[in-house]
């Protein structure tokens, strides 16, 4: 696992609360000793790469009073969501930092370093990035095969998305330009590989298209949503899974 390369240092005095799945992952990989609470999604292994570690930390709802009761020195959140809670916390003097959603590996490097700096753990950040780079470097040269990542409701990952970056890093030419091409278009112009990110524990009508018999002959491969929901060093795991 990614965390295996990170040396453990004495716990910092900081008390950090995370209110977003993506910041949960950065916090528990970079500075688990500082984690006072994480979001309720962090313990779900189909969504989170830190599910096991998150079970050892209390969960917290996105509620200002619940967070204030924890007396945090720092609250980590995403750019979107918690739009009522975060300003309330800031008005009460709580430091809030919002992390972005990287859409390629260059942005992942920048955001990892920013998170590591906020938590006072730059060496751990570099260790995560070194492992990520080693995974990326292990991928053989691309074959030119066309791959398409199809998500719930038939949406196809578009250019400059995290999915697009993963497919290219895995050595594929990306088929499709985003949007919803529909069943007929997929059946008439199939990619060489269909990549899905279906969470196996949550089947729904939104994924019915992927089970249609007309697509049954297209080779496919599944990638865990946990590797793609948030861009981070762990996203290299999606690349190596597809390149195998």
pLDDT digits over 64-79, tens only?
999 999 999 999 999 9
- Please tell me whether residues 112 and 206 are part of one structural domain: yes
- Please tell me whether residues 117 and 234 are part of one structural domain: yes
Which CATH number covers residue 214?
3.40.50.1980
Do residues 22 and 28 lie in contact, with contact meaning Cβ atoms separated by under 8 Å? no
Q: Which domain holds residue 108?
A: 102-244
DSSP string for residues in 155-180? -B--TTSHHHHHHHHTTPEEP--SB-
Do residues 76 and 17 lie in contact, with contact meaning Cβ atoms separated by under 8 Å? yes
Residue 145, in any domain of the structure: yes
Number of domains observed in the structure of the chain: 2
Q: How confident is the model at residue 155 (pLDDT cuts 50, 70, 90)?
A: confident
Q: What is the pTM of this model?
A: 0.87
- Please tell me whether residues 196 and 237 are part of one structural domain: yes
pLDDT tens per residue, range 30-77: 999 999 999 999 999 999 999 999 999 999 999 999 999 999 999 999
Residue after which a domain boundary falls, among 100, 121, 151: 100
Percent of the chain with pLDDT over 70: 89
- Please tell me whether residues 129 and 65 are part of one structural domain: no
- Please tell me whether residues 88 and 165 are part of one structural domain: no
User: CB-side exposure of 228: number of CA atoms within 13 Å?
Assistant: 25
- Please tell me whether residues 109 and 95 are part of one structural domain: no
Question: Residue 5: its pLDDT value, please?
Answer: 43
Measured in degrees and rounded to the nearest 5, phi and psi for residue 196 equal: -120, 155
């Amino acid at each position: 696992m990614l965390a295996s390369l990170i040396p453990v240092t004495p716990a910092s005095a900081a008390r950090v609360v995370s209110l977003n799945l993506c910041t949960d992952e950065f916090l528990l990989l970079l500075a688990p000793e500082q984690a006072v609470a994480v979001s309720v999604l962090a313990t779900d292994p189909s969504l989170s790469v830190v599910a096991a570690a998150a079970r050892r930390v209390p969960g917290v709802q996105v509620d200002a009073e619940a967070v204030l009761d924890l007396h945090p020195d720092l609250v980590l959140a995403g750019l979107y969501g918690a739009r009522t809670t975060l300003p309330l916390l800031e008005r009460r003097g709580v430091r809030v930092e919002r992390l972005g959603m990287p859409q390629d590996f260059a942005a992942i490097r920048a955001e990892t370093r920013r998170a590591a700096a906020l938590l006072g753990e730059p060496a751990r950040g570099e260790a995560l990035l070194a492992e990520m780079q080693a995974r990326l470097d292990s991928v053989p040269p691309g074959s030119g095969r066309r791959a398409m990542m199809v998500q719930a409701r038939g949406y196809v990952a578009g250019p400059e998305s995290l999915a697009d970056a993963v497919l290219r890093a895995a050595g594929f030419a990306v088929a499709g330009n985003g949007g919803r091409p529909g069943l007929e278009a997929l059946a008439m112009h199939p990619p060489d590989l269909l990549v899905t990110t279906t969470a196996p524990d949550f089947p729904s009508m939104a994924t019915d298209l992927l089970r249609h018999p007309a697509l049954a002959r297209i080779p496919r491969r599944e990638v865990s949503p946990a590797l793609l929901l948030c861009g981070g060093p762990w996203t290299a795991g999606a690349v190596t899974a597809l390149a195998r």
